[in-house]
Amino acid sequence: MTDVIPLIPEAPATFADDAADIGALAAQGETPPNERNRKSVSQKKLEKRIVRLTGQAVTDFDMIREGDKIMVAMSGGKDSAYLADLLKETYGMRLLGFIIDINYEYPETFENAKTIARKLDLPYVVFRQEPEAMRRYYRFLFTEKALLQPDGGQVCTFCGRFLIHSACAFARRMGILLVFSGHNPDQIFLMGESIHNTPEQDVLIEFLMETLSEETGKALARWRESYGEPELPLFPDSIHVEGTELLFPFQYFPYRPEAMMRHVRERLQWLPIKRFSKTYIASGCRLVKLWAYMAYLNNTNSYVDFEFCNQIRNGTLSADTVRQFYEQAEIDYEELAELIAELDMAGPMKALLTPYGEKAEALLRLLP
pLDDT tier at 11, thresholds 50, 70, 90: very low
pLDDT tier at 28, thresholds 50, 70, 90: very low
From the list 104, 126, 8, 157, the residue with the least C-alpha distance to 344 is 104
Rounded CA separation 355/331 (Å): 19
pLDDT tier at 5, thresholds 50, 70, 90: very low
What are the tens digits of pLDDT across the range 208-253? 899 999 999 999 999 999 999 999 999 999 999 999 999 999 888 8
- pTM score: 0.83
pLDDT tier at 13, thresholds 50, 70, 90: very low
pLDDT at 29 over 60: no
pLDDT at 102 over 50: yes
Among the ranges given (46-50, 102-106, 307-311), the one the predictor scored with the smallest mean pLDDT: 46-50
Pairing of strands 124-128, 95-101: parallel
What are the tens digits of pLDDT across the range 76-92? 899 999 999 998 988 78
Rounded CA separation 56/64 (Å): 7
6: in domain: no
pLDDT of 258 reads 86
What is the overall mean pLDDT for the chain?
Answer: 82
From the list 264, 303, 329, the residue with the least C-alpha distance to 160 is 303
End-to-end CA distance of the chain: 29
pLDDT of 134 reads 97
322: in domain: no
Cα 91 to chain center, whole Å?
Answer: 25
75: domain CATH number is 3.40.50.620
What are the tens digits of pLDDT across the range 307-339? 888 888 888 888 898 888 888 888 899 999 999
Q: Within 10 Å of residue 299's Cβ, how many Cβ atoms?
A: 12
Bridge partners (DSSP) of residue 101 are: 128
pLDDT at 203 over 50: yes
The pairs formed by 224-230 with CB atoms below 8 angstroms and a separation of 24 or more are 226/140, 227/136, 227/140
Range of the domain at 52: 33-275
338: in domain: no
What are the tens digits of pLDDT across the range 263-313? 999 999 998 887 777 666 566 889 999 999 999 999 998 888 888 888 888
Rounded CA separation 328/330 (Å): 6
Query: Domains in the chain: how many in total?
Result: 1
109: in domain: yes
Rounded CA separation 169/308 (Å): 31
pLDDT of 135 reads 97
pLDDT of 276 reads 74
pLDDT of 30 reads 35
354: DSSP letter = G
10: in domain: no
Report CA torsion sign: 51, 55, 57, 62.
negative
Judge whether 264 and 199 are in contact, CB under 8 Å: no
Q: What is the DSSP string of 195-207?
A: SS--HHHHHHHHH
Using DSSP's 3-state secondary structure scheme, residue 330 falls into: strand
pLDDT of 278 reads 65
Bridge partners (DSSP) of residue 71 are: 96, 179
Rounded CA separation 181/167 (Å): 10
105: DSSP letter = B
Judge whether 144 and 135 are in contact, CB under 8 Å: no
Length of the chain: 368
From the list 87, 45, 268, 255, the residue with the least C-alpha distance to 180 is 87
Among the ranges given (10-14, 111-115, 181-185), the one the predictor scored with the smallest mean pLDDT: 10-14
Q: Is residue 341 classed exposed, middle or buried when 0-12, 13-18 and 19+ CB atoms within 10 A define those classes? A: middle
pLDDT of 33 reads 36
Rounded CA separation 221/215 (Å): 10
- Give the CA dihedral 70, 189, 114, 47, nearest 10 degrees: -30
19: in domain: no
Q: What Rg, from alpha-carbon coordinates, does the chain have?
A: 21
pLDDT tier at 194, thresholds 50, 70, 90: confident
**pLDDT exceeding 90 applies to what percent of the chain?**
50
pLDDT tier at 160, thresholds 50, 70, 90: very high
Rounded CA separation 247/82 (Å): 15
